[in-house]
Amino acid sequence: MRARTTVGATVVVAIALIVAGFLVVTLLRDNLYGRAELTAEVNARSIAGQLASGTAPGAVELPDDDEAAQIVAANGDVVAASEDLAGMGAVGDFAPAPDPVTETTEDADDGDDGGTDDDDTDDQTDDDDDDADDGDSDGGDSDDNATETQSPSAAPEPTQGAVGSSIAYETVTLRSEGAPYRFAAMNATAPDGTVYTVYSGASLETQEEAVESVTATMWWALPALLAVVAVVTWLVTRRALRPVGAIQKELISITGGDLSRRVPVPASRDEIHSLAVTTNTTLAALDHAVSQQRRFVADASHELRSPLAILRSQIEIAREHPELLDLDATHADVIRLQDLAADLLLLARLDAGERPPHTEVPFTELVREEVARRAASDRVPVRLEVEEDLSVFGVRGHLARAVGNLLANAQRHAATAVTVTLAAEDDEWLFLDVGDDGNGVPAGDRRRIFDRFVRLDESRSRDEGGAGLGLAIVQDVVLAHRGMVQVLESPEGGALFRMALRRADRRPPQASAEAGGPVASGPAP
C-alpha cells in the first residue's frame, strides 16, 4: 500500500507539474511575442508616418540593432531597407490592402459657396463691369492686370499623405540572420499619391532563448521535484501507517489464543483511531462469546457427567445384582439426560442463528394445550385465565417450549398454586404472565437468572433435575420472536414471569420471518 500510494502521488504530481509548466511556458511565450509585436508595430507606424508627411523613402529614418525594416513600392521593388535587410527582396506579401482614398478640392467647396448667394454674384458682376470700364480707360495696362489675376488660380492645390488603418503580422526567419523576426506590415500613401508598403520587424532571438531557458530549467528541475515528492510521500505514508502495523502485529499475537489482549489505539482522532477502537470492541465481543462458549461447554459437560455416571453405576449394579435394579430411577435419569440434550441442542440452534419459517400461531390455544399436557404431573394446581382468539407469528414448537419452561419453573418454586394469565395489552402487544406463591427472585438476581446454567440457592434445594437452562431458553426464544421477558413480583408474593409478544394482526409475516435480535423497545411492564 505504501508503494502504491507513493507511486500514485508521484504520478499525479508529475502530471500536474507538466501541465502547469506547459501553461507557464505558453503564457511566457505569448507575453514575449506580444512585446516584440508591439515594437514592430510602433516602428512600422513611425516609418509610415514619415512617408505620409512627404519624406522620401531614402531619407526615412529606419531602426537598427535587433530591429529590421523595409519600404516596398507598389511594383514590389525595395526602395529602402535597414542594414539587416540590405540587398534582400521583400520579406513577404502579407501586407493588408491599401485603404480607398476619396479626393476633394477646395475649388469645389468654393463653387458650392458661390452658388448659395445670388446677391454676391450680382455684386461681383457689377464689380467686373466696373473693372472692365477701368480697363478700357487704362488702355495698355489691361493685359498685365489680366495676367496677374489668372496666375494664382492656375496653380495646383497640394494634397496630404495617409497612413493605412490596417496592419498585419507574421513571423519570418531571415536567412541572413538565421533568427526569427516578428514583422508588422502596413501601407502608407505619400503626398504625391505613391503607395508604399512598410515592413517592420523585431527579433525573436532573445525571446526564444528565454523560453528555451525556462523550459530546460523546468525539465531539469522536474526529476528533483518528483524525487522530493516521492520521498516525502513515502515518509508520511510510513508514519501514517505505523499504527496499522502495530495493530497487525498485535492481532497476530492475539490470534495465538489470548483474546484478553487489545490492539494499541493511536492518539490521533482519525480513521486509524476509529479502526483500532472498532477492532477492540470486536475483540471484546469475541472474548465474551468465547468465554460464554467455554463456560457453556464446561457446564454442559458437568451436567451430562452426573446422569451418565448414575446410569453407569446402575447398569453395573444391575449386571452383578439384577434384583437391585431400580427401573423407575433409571427411567427418570434417562428422561433427565434426554431433556438436557434437547435443551443443549435447542440453544445451539438458536446461537447458530437458525430461523425456521414463521407462521401464524393461535397463542390462546397453545397456552391451553401446554397447561393441559402438564396437568397430570403438576405438583400444585394451575389457575388459568386467558383471552380468546389471540395469535402471534412465530415457530409453534419454540413458543410451546418457552411456555412449558415457564410452567415447569413455576411448579418447582410454587408453594400452593400457579397462576397463568393471557391478555392483550393493546392492539400491538399481548402478555403471558406465569406467577407462583413461592419465595420469589431477589431484585439483584432478576437479570442473572436468565443466564445459562444459573441456579439460585433456593432453586437447588427444590430442583431435583433442572440444569439451569430452562429460563435461558425462554429468553432466547422470546428475543428470536422480537419480544421480551422479565421477572416481576407476583401478587401472591412469589415470582411473576411476564412474556410480551407482538400480536399477529399487527405484525406481518415477512417482518416475523426476519426475527432474530433483541428489540429496541417494547411494551410497558
Tens digit of each residue's pLDDT (9 = 90 or more) over 164-202 = 888 999 988 887 777 888 999 999 999 988 899 999 988
Instruction: Report whether pLDDT(269) > 50.
Output: yes
**Concatenated DSSP letters of 291-354:** HHHHHHHHHHHHHHHHHHHHHHHHHHHHHH-GGG--HHHHHHHHHHHHHHHHHHHHHHHHHTT-
Q: In 3D, which of 451, 452, 424, 437 has the Cα closest to residue 490?
A: 437
Average per-residue pLDDT in the chain?
Answer: 78
Segment 510-522 mean pLDDT? 40
DSSP label of 376: G
Residue 175's pLDDT is 76
Q: Which range among 14-18, 445-449, 477-481 shows the weakest confidence by mean pLDDT? A: 445-449
pLDDT at residue 486 in the model = 92
- 265, 277 contact by CB (below 8 A): yes
Task: Say yes or no to pLDDT of 351 above 90.
Answer: no
3-state DSSP percent of the chain in helix, strand and coil, to 5: 55, 15, 30
Q: Which of these ranges, 139-153, 451-465, 492-506, has the smallest mean pLDDT? A: 139-153
Q: How confident is the model at residue 138 (pLDDT cuts 50, 70, 90)?
A: very low
Q: What is the mean predicted confidence (pLDDT) over 509-515? A: 40
In a 10 Å sphere around its CB, with 0-12 CB exposed, 13-18 middle and 19+ buried, how is residue 123 labelled? Answer: exposed
Pick the closest to residue 392 from 347, 369, 362 (CA basis).
362
- What confidence category does residue 521 fall into, taking pLDDT thresholds of 50, 70 and 90? very low
Q: Which tens digit of pLDDT belongs to each residue from 365-405?
A: 999 999 999 888 888 999 999 999 899 999 998 999 999 99
Q: What is the pLDDT of residue 22?
A: 92
| DSSP helix/strand/coil, 93 | coil
What does the longest C-alpha to C-alpha distance in the chain come to? 198
Per-residue pLDDT, averaged over 60-71, amounts to 84
**Predicted pLDDT of residue 186:** 92
pLDDT-derived band at 267 (thresholds 50, 70, 90) equals confident
Residue 437 CA to residue 418 CA, distance in Å, equals 7
Beta bridge partners of 68: 201
> How many Cα atoms are found within 13 Å in the side-chain-facing hemisphere of 137?
6
DSSP string, 216-243: HHHHHHHHHHHHHHHHHHHHHHHHHHHH
Q: Which residues contact 104 (CB under 8 A, 6 or more apart)?
A: none
Amino acid at 525: P
Q: How confident is the model at residue 160 (pLDDT cuts 50, 70, 90)?
A: confident
Domains of the chain: 1-96+159-256 (3.30.450.20), 257-353 (1.10.287), 356-502 (3.30.565.10)
Q: Over pLDDT 90: what percentage of the chain?
A: 24
Helix 363-374 with 396-413: angle, nearest 10 deg: 40
Model confidence at 143: pLDDT above 50: no
Q: Which is more confidently placed, 519 or 97?
A: 97
> Which pLDDT score is estimated for 444?
83
503 and 427 Cβ atoms separated by less than 8 Å: yes
Mean pLDDT, residues 8-25 taken together: 91
Most confident of 84-93, 410-419, 513-522: 410-419
- One-character DSSP codes across 473-485: HHHHHHHHTT-EE
Q: What is the pLDDT of residue 120?
A: 43
Q: Return the pLDDT at 383.
A: 92
pLDDT digits (tens, 9 = 90+) for 202-256: 888 888 888 889 999 999 999 999 999 999 988 888 887 788 888 888 888 777 6
Tell me phi and psi for residue 275, to 5 degrees: -65, -45
CA distance 204 to 210: 10
What mean pLDDT comes out for the span 443-464? 68
Q: What is the pLDDT of residue 465?
A: 47
Q: Which cell numbers hold the place of 479?
A: 428475543
Lowest mean pLDDT: which of 22-36, 279-293, 377-391?
279-293
Q: What is the mean pLDDT of residues 26-42?
A: 90
DSSP-H helix ranges across 414-492:
457-462, 470-480
Q: Residue 115 pLDDT > 60, yes or no?
A: no
**Could you tell me which residue, 307 or 275, shows the higher pLDDT?**
275
Task: Transcribe 151-199 into DSSP letters.
Answer: HHHHSPPP---EE-S--EEEEEEETTTTEEEEEEEEEEE-TTS-EEEEE
Long-range CB contacts for residues 99-107, cutoff 8 Å, separation at least 24: 99/162, 99/164, 99/165, 99/166, 99/187, 101/162, 101/189, 101/193, 103/159, 105/157, 106/157, 107/157
Q: How far apart are the first and last CA of the chain?
A: 55
AA letter at 154: A
Predicted local distance difference test score (pLDDT) of residue 42: 92
